[in-house]
Amino acid sequence: MEVGFKRNEVKGVVFYTIPSFERTGLVKHLFTTRIGGVSKGKYASLNLSLKRYDTKEEVYENFKIICDIGGFSYEDMVFSDQVHGNVIRKVTLKDKGKNFGGSDISGVDALMTNERGIPLVTFYADCVPLFFLDPVKKVIALAHAGWRGTVAYIGPKTVNAMKEEYGSNPKDILVGIGPSIYQCCYEVGDDVANKIKDAIGEWGKVLVKKAEGKWILDLQLTNYIELINTGIPDENITVSQMCTHCNSEFYSYRRDKGMTGSMAAFMELS
């Protein structure tokens, strides 16, 4: 396991990248923070969600800012429509531009493609971002893994979809497990803990009992274990071990009691 994403700052915009992905030279990718945009108040400043009562104009401008920084085409972005499920959507050139409106992508928590020039975009405000890159078959995927998606095996299902659709070998796939609410701040009840216990055999590594009916959950490690069990080598996985709840660079739905913006994961085959 490689630990840590790389912090970058360009023109006042702070974002994170995955060193193993950068070394391939095959993708443009990044995970945003809240720093460097034009949104105000609770949404300051790089909010990328139109579902948070921010103004459309400011969110559109934030996207233009991050697309300029990352070298992505604003017009060609393809958005997910996340519901905390495990549906994976294959994206092709005909899907370019399915972003702010008129998209038929709904109920989708993961996007994948083997076609160049399509910026895939998924959204986060505490849930775990999963980045996938197969440098052999030249396939990428992004998945949104909250606890519901994690117990529904969104990560392993994305790996299986890459295998079935593109012939990817798990031994070749690189993974980045991005910033999310981390074990230091993620208290859950028995209902969530029991679902985690049902989902992975090694639950003792990810759950610590805090009090009666209260547990501390390491959701990043849970996804790591699920992905190791698909055959992805330990050395192919980078875990950020960063907490969106602790770190004021990020939006956090739980910390801010829902009155907050969203970060986004971007990735495109170059």
Tens of pLDDT, residue by residue over 159-196, are 999 999 999 999 999 999 999 999 999 999 999 999 99
pLDDT tens for each residue of 3-16? 999 999 999 999 99
Q: Which CATH superfamily is domain 2-181+232-269 in?
A: CNF1/YfiH-like putative cysteine hydrolases (3.60.140.10)
User: What is the sign of the dihedral through the CA atoms of 145, 148, 150 and 155?
Assistant: negative
Q: What is the pLDDT of residue 54?
A: 79
Q: What is the pLDDT of residue 102?
A: 80
Residue 52: pLDDT band by 50, 70, 90 thresholds? confident
Residue 101 class from Cβ within 10 Å (0-12 exposed, 13-18 middle, 19+ buried)?
exposed
Q: What is the pLDDT of residue 61?
A: 98
% of the chain surpassing 90 pLDDT: 96
Q: What is the pLDDT of residue 92?
A: 98
CA pair distance 22, 70, nearest whole angstrom: 13
- Whether residue 232 contacts residue 212, with contact meaning beta carbons closer than 8 Å, is answered with no
The mean pLDDT of 127-134, rounded to a whole number, is 98
pLDDT tens for each residue of 99-128? 998 899 999 999 999 999 999 999 999 999
Residue 264 class from Cβ within 10 Å (0-12 exposed, 13-18 middle, 19+ buried)?
buried
The mean pLDDT of 77-86, rounded to a whole number, is 96
Cβ neighbours around 152 below 10 Å, total: 19
pLDDT tens for each residue of 188-238? 999 999 999 999 999 999 999 999 999 999 999 999 999 999 999 999 999
CA pair distance 18, 2, nearest whole angstrom: 10
The mean pLDDT of 18-42, rounded to a whole number, is 97
Domain ranges, ordered by start, for the chain: 2-181+232-269
